[in-house]
Structure 1
Amino acid sequence: MSFKLGLIINPWAGIGGAMALKGSDGKEVREQALAMGAIPKAQQRMREALEIILPYKKQVQIITAARDMGEALAHEMGFNVQVVYTPAHQQTEAIDSENAAYAMLDTKVDLLLFAGGDGTARNICSIVHTAMPVLGVPAGCKIHSGVYGVSPKASGRVVEKMLCGELVSVDTADVKDIDEEKFRQGKVIAKMYGEMQIPLELRYIQATKSGGKESEELVLADIADYISELMEDEYFVMGSGSTVAAVMQSLGLPNTLLGVDLVKEQQLIASDLTAQQLLDSIDNQPAKLVITLIGGQGHIFGRGNQQLSPQLIKQIGKENILLIATKTKLQALQGRPLLVDTGDAELDKSLSGFLPVITGYRDQVLYPVAAPGNE
C-alpha cells in the first residue's frame, strides 16, 4: 500500500528575503526582487525535505500540481507522480495554492507537504482547515505559523517517521500571518487565521513565535554596554530584533528593527542592507555579527534574517558571532536548543554544538545549538 503524499510548492516563496524586502507577497514585490537579482529558493528547500525520503520512494505516490508547483521536482527526483491541478498561467498566484489544496481534498492524501511562508500556510488553511494533516517546509521570509518544520530536512524527517510506521501524534497548530506593509515600517502585527492538523514531533516542529518586546530594561542595558565595549575598528553587522535594537539605542544610532545594519567604530555605516550589499561592504575584512534569537521559537538563522547569507556567516566565522539574549528568553525555551536553518547544510552542521550567549555585562552562558534533520 503506497503512502499518498500531497505536494505543493509556492515557487515565489521567500524571494524577497535576501533583498531586504521583508516579504514576498504581491506581484510588485516579486518583480522588484527579481530585478534586484533574487533567486527563487523554494524548489531547493523542498528538494532538501524530499531527499530524506528518497530511500522510500517506491512506497510513495506524490499527488501534486503541475510544473514548478511540484511536478517538475518530483519527476526529476524519480518519484511516482500524479498531477491533479494545473495553473492557468506560468506565473502562479495565491489562488493556485488554494486550488491545488482543494484538488487534494478529493484524493485523500495521507499528508500534504507544502513549501512556502505564512502566506502559503494561510492559502492552504483557507481550503483544508483540519480536514487532513499538513506539514510546511519553511521557504518564506516570515514564519510565524506553527505548522512548519524547523528546517526542510526536519520536515523530511517527520515524513520519514510516518513512512517507517512510527507512532507520530497529530495535533492542531496555529496559522498566523503579519501585515507586510506594517512589517516594512518596523511593526509586527500578527493575526491568527485558523488552525491545521500537523504530525507532532517536538524535535522537528517549530513553536509559534512569542510576541511582544523584552521588558528587562536593566539586563538589556548591561548587554548593550558590553557589546559597545567590544566595538573597536572592525565592522559590526547588527542583526534584527529588539535585543539588538537595545544595543543600537545605547549607541545613539538609528536602527532597522526588522533589518540588518552595519556599524564601524560605533558609527552607522549603512542601514537595512541586502545580502549582497553586506558581502560587498564587508569585502573579506574583519567583522563581527551581533544576533539574537526569536523568542519562544529559538531560531537564530533562517527566520526573517535571510540577509545574513551562508557566504556572509562563513566569511565572518563562528568565533565572531556575538549571540545576545536575556536568561529569561533562554529559559522560555524550556531546554530546547537554539536552531539554525541557513539553507547550507554543511554550515548548519558547523554551527551546531554549543555557542556562548551573552546574557549581561561580561556574563555568558553556553547553550546548545542544533540543526534538526541534519544529523
Structure 2
Amino acid sequence: MVAHLARLLPEAPSVIVGLIVNPVAGLGGAVALKGSDGADVQARALALGAVPRAAARAAAALGALHSRRPGLRVRTVAGAMGEDSAVAAGVPYEIAHHPRARTKSASGTGAADTRAAVAALGGVDLLLFAGGDGTARDVLDGGPRSPVLGVPAGVKVYSGCFGLSPFAAGATAAGFDGATVEAEVVDLDEEAYRSGRVGVRLYGILRVPAARARLSGRKTGSSAAPPGSAESIAREVAASMLPGTAYALGPGATTLAVGRELGLELTPLGVDVVRDGAVLASDVTEQTLLTLAMSQVTHGVLSVIGGQGFVIGRGNQQFSPRVLARLAGITVLATRQKLAALGGRPLLVDSGDLAADAAFGGHTRVVTGHRESVMYRIQSASEDL
C-alpha cells in the first residue's frame, strides 16, 4: 500500500504546508516535571539535563511527508520554531515569519510567538505544529485560517488534533485532500497536574484532516469504570510481585491503586519504583530509572490512556528507549471497560525510537482484574508508515 501511495502522491497537486515548532515542548517529561509550561519549569528541566525533542519530532514528520510528496512547499518560522527542523529533514522551505520573542522562555520564544506565527502562515493548505496541549491552545488562540495537524511532542497530548506519532502526522499531511473534521483542544492546569489533580476541560475546536485512524483522539477519563475495578487489578498486580524484583509504576489511577494495595503512598502522575513492599525511589527521572534498571532486575507496570490507547510515550517519558531495553518486562493494566471503549483499536507505543516501538508488535497480556487478564494487540504508533 505504501508503494502504491508513493506512485500516486507525487503526481498530486502541490501542497503548501506550514510548520510551527514549540522548541521546549516535552522538555519536562523525562526529568519528571510533568510538563513544560513556564520559563521557570523549562529552566529547571534544562538544569536537570533535559534534552529538547520537539525539533527532531517535527523533522521526522517532515521527512515522512516529503518522502510521499516530494514536490511539497514548506513555509515556516525562522530558527528553532521551524527552520531548524526543515534543515534537519532536508526539505526545501521558505521563511514566512521571524519570532520576536515577546515571552521569555528557555528557547527565547513563547506563546505570543506561536500566535503570531499562526497569523503569518495563514495562507497555507495545512498547518503542522509540533508541541503538546499547551501549543495546541496557542495555535487555536492564533485564529488559524487553515486546517491544522499536531505533531505530538509534548509531555501530555490529551487533545484530539494530533497524529498518532510524528510519522503518522507526516503521512496524514501527505494524503490530505482538503476533507476535514472537528477535533477537540483541551485545557489542563499544569500546576494542578503536578499535584496529581487532573482537570481537563474543552478549550475549543480545530479543523483537522479527516483521517481518524491516524489521529490520537481526545483522552477520556475512567469515570465509567465500575467501583472496585482499579482495586481488583491492584490486588492481582500486588499478588504477582516477585521478591527481590523492582517494579517501576507509571502514572495513572490504576497504578496508584497498586500503591494503596501495598500500603504505599505513590507520587500522583509520577513514576515510583517499589521493591519487596517498600518504595525504593520516588518520582524518578529517566536517568534515575535507567540507573536502577541497570543495577537490578526491574519490571515496568503501565496503565492505558483512556480513549487513546497509549501505553508508552504520553506522560511517561521516563520509560525511554534505553530504559525499555533494560527492563525485564512490562505489565499493562486496564479495565475491561477501557479496552472495550477502544473499539478494537490497538494499544500504542510512541517512545521516540522506531526500533524500540517495533519490539512491541503483536499481543500483550493486559491485567483487567483479580485473576483476570486478556491478550490484546499492541503496536508501534508508526506501524506501516
Q: Structures share a fold, TM > 0.5?
A: yes
- Residue 198 of structure 2 aligns with an amino acid whose one-letter code is V
Structure 2 residue aligned with 1:276: 287
**SS of equivalent residue, structure 1 residue 38:** coil
Q: CA–CA distance in 1 between the matches of 2:318 and 2:270?
A: 8
Q: CA deviation at 1:88?
A: 2.3
Flag structure 2 segments of 5+ consecutive residues without an equivalent. Answer: 1-12, 102-106
Aligned with 2:214 (options 204, 210, 213): 204
Residues 203-282 of structure 1 correspond to what in structure 2 (within 5 A)?
A: 203-213=213-223, 215-231=225-241, 232-282=243-293
Aligned with 2:332 (options 318, 323, 342): 323
Pairwise CA RMSD of aligned residues?
Answer: 1.6
Structure 1 residue aligned with 2:203: 193
Structure 1 residue aligned with 2:155: 141
Q: CA–CA distance in 2 between the matches of 1:134 and 1:93?
A: 19
Structure 2 residue aligned with 1:97: 114
Q: Deviations over 1:26-55 (max 9, x none)?
A: 111111100111110001111211121233
Does 2:71 match 1:71? no
Structure 1 residue aligned with 2:4: none
Does 2:380 match 1:371? yes
- Residue 292 of structure 1 aligns with an amino acid whose one-letter code is S
Aligned with 2:370 (options 358, 361, 369): 361
Contact 1:51 1:156 in 2 (8 A): yes
Structure 1 residue aligned with 2:5: none
Residues 31-110 of structure 1 correspond to what in structure 2 (within 5 A)?
A: 31-56=43-68, 58-89=70-101, 91-105=108-122, 108-110=123-125
Contact 1:173 1:197 in 2 (8 A): yes
Structure 2 residue aligned with 1:150: 164
Contact 1:128 1:196 in 2 (8 A): no
Contact 2:230 2:253 in 1 (8 A): no
Structure 1 residue aligned with 2:189: 179
Contact 2:20 2:76 in 1 (8 A): yes
**SS of equivalent residue, structure 1 residue 334:** coil
Q: Which is worse superposed, 290-299 or 278-287?
A: 278-287
Structure 1 residue aligned with 2:311: 300
Q: Deviations over 1:51-70 (max 9, x none)?
A: 21233454111111001111
Contact 1:214 1:243 in 2 (8 A): no
Contact 1:155 1:373 in 2 (8 A): no
Aligned with 1:352 (options 343, 353, 361): 361
- Residue 326 of structure 1 aligns with an amino acid whose one-letter code is T
Q: CA deviation at 1:256?
A: 1.4
**SS of equivalent residue, structure 1 residue 144:** coil
Contact 2:225 2:337 in 1 (8 A): no
Q: CA deviation at 1:216?
A: 2.8
**SS of equivalent residue, structure 1 residue 51:** helix
Does 2:38 match 1:16? no
Q: Deviations over 1:314-360 (max 9, x none)?
A: 1114xx21111111110011111111111111111111211111112
Q: Which is worse superposed, 308-317 or 211-220?
A: 211-220
**SS of equivalent residue, structure 2 residue 61:** helix
Structure 2 residue aligned with 1:116: 131
